[in-house]
Amino acid sequence: MATALCPGSFDPVTLGHIDIIERSARHFERVIVAVIRNPQKTQSLFTLEERQEMLAEALAHLGNVEIAFFKGLLVEFARDNGADAIVKGLRAVSDFDYELQMAQMNQRLTGIDTFFLSTSPLYSFLSSSLVREVARFGGDVSGMVPGHVNQRLLARFTGGGGEDS
């Protein structure tokens, strides 16, 4: 097994994502963190470039991790980039149905396998959408996201210039 793909929207990256990526980087020679350019997610808080900057800073200590963008079918991106496997984090039973279906569809499309890592219990309640919601209303999300991401959230919601109502 050489290359793994960790896909997501990372809007923004949380300590839960970082935990999954760090653990993937221990098991695979190369990890590509693939940021989805999703046209359906019109209400994203951070731009793709901002998300990439936050990921790059958060993952700078991992020498075998790179960041890329993709749109369209993940399995085609995987094939084009020489990825052997997809790695997803599983938080709770609520993730399971959809992730299982997606993994089976991807397997059917190109034969690629998906590996699931169980989330650390420290982060099983964490999602980017909840972090955005809590931060938007002034809640403290330090300890759930890297310090520099927390700074960006504070700047976005308290420092003016917010693009998201």
Give me 148's structure tokens.
Answer: 């520099």
Residue 48, judged by CB atoms within 10 A of its CB (0-12, 13-18, 19+), counts as middle
Q: Of 5, 10, 12, 157, which one interacts with ligand ADP (CB under 6 A)?
A: 10
Part of the chain binding ligand ADP (CB under 6 A), chosen from 38-46, 65-73, 122-130, 156-164: 122-130
128 is a catalytic site residue: yes
Active-site residue (options: 17, 30, 88, 152): 17
Distance CA 24, CA 31 (A): 7
94 is a catalytic site residue: no
Indicate the residue among 129 and 142 with the shorter CB distance to ligand ADP. 129
Distance CA 47, CA 19 (A): 23
Residues in a beta bridge with 65: 31
91 is a catalytic site residue: yes
Indicate the residue among 60 and 92 with the shorter CB distance to ligand ADP. 92
* 119: contact with ligand ADP by CB under 6 A: yes
Asked whether 65 and 59 are in contact (CB, 8 A), the reply is: yes
* 106: contact with ligand ADP by CB under 6 A: no
Active-site residue (options: 128, 132, 152, 156): 128
* 126: contact with ligand ADP by CB under 6 A: yes
Q: What's the chain's length in residues?
A: 165
127 is a catalytic site residue: no
Residue spans of beta strands (DSSP E) within the chain: 3-8, 30-36, 65-70, 85-90, 113-118
Residues that bind ligand ADP (CB under 6 A): 8-10, 14, 16-17, 20, 88-89, 91, 95, 119, 123, 126-129
**Catalytic positions, written as ranges:** 17, 41, 91, 128
